[in-house]
Structure 1
Amino acid sequence: EQDALLPPAPMKRKVHEITEEDVSYQAEKEKKVKKPKVTNDEKRLRRFRPKPPQSFHEIYDRALSQRFYVLNRVRGGTQDCPEEDVEMTGSTGNIYTVHVGKQPRCTCPHHEKGHQCKHILYVMKQVLSAPFNLVYQLALLSTELQTIFASAPPISTPGQAESDKRKPIDGDCPICYCELDEKNQESIVWCAAACGQNIHEECFRMWAQTKTGGKVTCPMCRSVWKGDEKLVAKVQKDKGAVEEGYVNVADQLGISRERDESSYSRWYGIHNRRRDPDWEGNSSWHGGW
């Protein structure tokens, strides 16, 4: 009788069985444990542009239609936030430096007044082959810079010179980043000293004329130039004239120092007197640089 009055012994549950009580207890326990905050708070230094503003397109057209020359490229920054400085000539022969980083900038007067300039757009699109949705941004995130430089054309170094065989005539000229035309081989020279790189003859003349002091070198592998000796003999390594604080090599390139404004639309000149919220100091005319 006493055994009949005792409560039944608790049944042992199997290890894999989970009760509602277990779930409730675990949920309460997780509330008390502070989870580390996942932060990704990198701030864009300028407002994000979901699409290019109307004022962008005309500058972009000039960046792709006018002739520029790249004199030097230097990669910098860090692996997490890569950067690059590109030394180039403007359309009137002035030498500017474009810095591609979190906030791209250029030493040209137009950009220093707070405007987006064609030199930055040229470097982003033609030199670095950046995705278009990043070309028109005024500021970039470090992850976007990683994307750009992961697929950008490499910068050649002297150690990369391997053979004296001429490369196939295809791809872009390493100075102007315009396409090489195999059908017009007379206008193309190549590095017979080391890397075999093809270059527009006009571009090579410009490159050689801007190298003051010392011997003319290949713009790709930096080996002393060995190729068309008559072409090298014609080159005079005079220093460019200084105009308004900029070195100008227009005379050496055979181009005019006068700015060609024929491609600047009348609409563009009038309407950019209005303030654009995407640009700073936009009350003045944007055309020209």
Structure 2
Amino acid sequence: MSTREKPYRGKAPVIFFQTVQTALQSTFFLVNESGLTSFVLKDETGKVIKVSLGSTHSCTCGGGKTEHCVHTLYILLKIFRVLPDNPIIWQLSFIDSEINWLIRNRVNPHVDTKPKKERNSAQAQKVDRINLSEEFGCPICQEDLKDPETLIYCKEGCGHNFHVKCMKVWAEHKTSQKDPITCPLCRCDWGNGVINELNKILRKAKKKPQLHSNATCIGCGAIPIVGTKYHCVICPNFDFCSRCYKSYHKEHPFIMKTNPNSAWEAAVRVNSDAFAGRDFGPEDYEMLQQLDAKPCLSEYLFSLLPDCPPDVCHICKSDQQTRWKKLACSHSAHDTCILQALRDEQYICSIDSISCFLGLTPSSSHLKQEAPLSISGLHVGNPALAFRQRRKPAIKRHESHNAPIAHQPVFDLPPLIVTRIGVRKP
């Protein structure tokens, strides 16, 4: 089609870029391609979504007609590899030349023109596994391929790698359609027993202990930390294993990671001694529910910020009279402003680029990353030695508030351990 059915858009609306962010953070599984621009996706709950791009876009979620939905943008961003600033991705209607460009532009080194091979064929031969550095990502979920122990590859066809979890979704979809389970790329038959093989690998991965390879427990010195890793929000570069977390440093709040690839979560301590020997009745049900509920990370961090007198909010730049919170850099902000910033995963002050919390530093602006070594104007070279010498961080507490007031920290440590860095320029 040489004419566009919907007007050309010279720029994208604001909501478009918000949807782009959601699409980039979403996980879908590509389980079928019914055409060059028609796809079948499955989300993590198993819901099937059908997406078609062309002279008009359509999606079974109802999006794509008046504005792009998460699914149409996922196809364009992760399958066709179109950059968000390319005007083609903004359009709600494609012409023939744009469709041809999308097809040619698609990064798909997996195309194999060899005839299909039967798994039990006498001529079938084992093929070498393709090196992960040569892969463009998992062909099913479009995400990176990292840990070889969580991957499986086509042994008798193309040799390409897949996530075990993704391959299980693919195999279950093929089984539900009463189709043979084949390689998503070369269509080599994997046989009927592949689902049992995939389940076996997944069970083995669950039993394997989670190792935080770049983390050292400050308490016992364990390297690496096995299982859940706990990180102090107040102290710099301060990690604990599960055993030491239960025993030490109970006066400070912590966040935790259950495995190296998971996001940070709130680590809420429960004082079990307070309930020792107590008989619970129906009147305690609401209290027990509150203890069992885990707050989201943004609300948990927000609760740690101390109140402060009214000032000018460094986020909205107004002095509107409301509740105020103080950050580690001593700047103030409205409670609603800082809560929204934390929900948006913005953990550093916009004025001086200092973290809102002493234990979370400017370079750790996204809590999915590991916490680095530096904090507000200080660099800690060996926090384990400081802890074992029982040095207490100089953190004052407000008389009427349990959360620490984040003043400029002063550590009474040897000069080889703490080195002062130059003053930051705003």
Give the TM-score normalised by structure 2: 0.40
Any stretches of 5+ residues in structure 1 without a counterpart? 1-40, 76-82, 236-261, 267-289
Aligned partners of 2:137, 2:115: CA distance in 1, in Å?
A: 18
Q: Does 1:203 align with 2:158?
A: no
Residue of structure 2 aligned with 1:172, choices 126, 132, 137:
137
Instruction: Give the direction of change, closer, same or farther, for the CA distance of 1:91–1:102 in structure 2 (3 Å limit).
Output: farther
Q: Residues 160 and 67 of structure 1: is their aligned pair in 2 closer, same or farther, counting only changes over 3 Å?
A: farther
Q: Does 1:134 align with 2:88?
A: yes
Partner residue, 2:151: 188
Superposition RMSD in Å:
3.3
Q: Find the counterpart in structure 1 of residue 34 from structure 2.
A: 74
Specify the SS of the correspondent of 1:50: coil
**Structure 2: how far apart are the matches of 1:139 and 1:91?**
29
| Cα displacement (A) at 1:88 | 0.7
- Give 1:218's aligned amino acid: C
Offset at 1:43?
Answer: 2.5
1:176, distance to aligned residue in structure 2 (A) = 0.4
Contact 2:4 2:93 in 1 (8 A): yes
Whole-angstrom CA distance in 2 between matches of 1:74 and 1:123? 14
What is the CA–CA distance in structure 2 between the aligned matches of 1:73 and 1:153, rounded to whole Å?
15
Aligned to 1:99: 52
Question: Aligned partners of 1:229 and 1:71: how far apart in 2?
Answer: 15
Cα contact 1:88–1:97 (8 A) shared by 2: yes
CA distance in 1 between partners of 2:195 and 2:173 (Å): 17
* SS across alignment from 1:86: strand
Note the C-alpha offset of 1:111: 4.4
Check conservation: 1:110, 1:116, Cα contact below 8 A.
yes
Structure 1 counterpart of 2:183: 218
For CA contacts below 8 A with separation 6 or more, give which structure has more relative contact order: 1
Separation of aligned partners in 2, 1:87 and 1:158: 22
Flag the 1:105–1:91 CA change in 2: closer, same or farther, 3 A.
Answer: farther
Tell me how far apart the structure 2 counterparts of residues 66 and 118 of structure 1 sit (CA, whole Å).
Answer: 8
**1:231 maps to 2:186:** no
Deviation at 1:172, TM superposition (A): 0.9
Aligned to 1:117: 69
C-alpha contact 1:190 1:196 (8 A) present in aligned 2: yes
Summarize the Cα distance change of 1:46–1:165 in structure 2 as closer, same or farther, 3 Å threshold: same
User: 1:231: how far off?
Assistant: 2.1
Task: Report the number of matched residues.
Answer: 190
Where do 5+ consecutive residues of structure 2 fail to align? 118-125, 202-296, 298-339, 341-426
CA contact (8 A) 1:161 1:195 kept: no
Partner deviation per Cα, 1:56-104 (whole Å, 9 max, x = no partner): 11111111101000011233xxxxxxx5211111354321211121222
Instruction: For residues 156-214 of structure 1, give each alpha carbon's deviation from its aligned partner in whole angstroms, at most 9, with x where no partner exists.
Output: 46736697221111321010011111xx1101110102111100111011111112235
Residues 158 and 233 of structure 1: CA distance in aligned 2, closer, same or farther (over 3 Å): farther
Alignment of 1:205-284 (within 5 A): 205-212=168-175, 213=178, 215-225=180-190, 230-232=196-198
For 1:173 and 1:119, locate their aligned partners in 2 and report how far apart those are by CA, in whole Å: 18
Between the aligned partners of 2:76 and 2:12, the Cα distance in structure 1 is 15
In structure 1, what is the Cα distance between the partners aligned to 2:129 and 2:91?
A: 39
Q: Which has the higher helix share?
A: 1
Match of 1:56 among 6, 16, 32: 16
Q: Give the conservation status (yes or no) of the 8 Å contact 1:102–1:140.
A: yes
Mapped to 2, the partners of 1:60 and 1:234 lie a distance apart of 36
Q: d(CA) in 1 for partners of 2:171 and 2:188?
A: 13
Q: Quick one: distance in 1 between partners of 2:154 and 2:182?
A: 9
Contact 2:28 2:44 in 1 (8 A): yes
On the 8 A contact 1:45/1:139 being kept in 2, the answer is yes
Q: Residues 90, 142 of structure 1: CA spacing in aligned structure 2 closer, same or farther, 3 A cutoff? A: same
Could you tell me whether the CA contact under 8 Å between 1:158 and 1:223 is conserved in 2?
Answer: no
Structure 2 vs 1, CA of residues 158 and 207 (structure 1 numbering), >3 Å: closer, same or farther? farther
User: What SS does the corresponding residue of 2:37 show, helix, strand or coil?
Assistant: strand
Change (3 A) 1:54 1:207: same
Q: Which of 219-228 and 56-65 deviates more?
A: 219-228
Is the 8 Å Cα contact of residues 128 and 149 (structure 1) preserved in structure 2? yes
Q: Return the offset for 1:232.
A: 4.3
Partner Cα separation in structure 1 for residue 150 and residue 34 of structure 2: 28
The 8 Å contact of residues 68 and 90 in structure 1, kept in 2 or not, is answered as: yes
Give the counterpart letter for 2:100 in structure 1.
Q
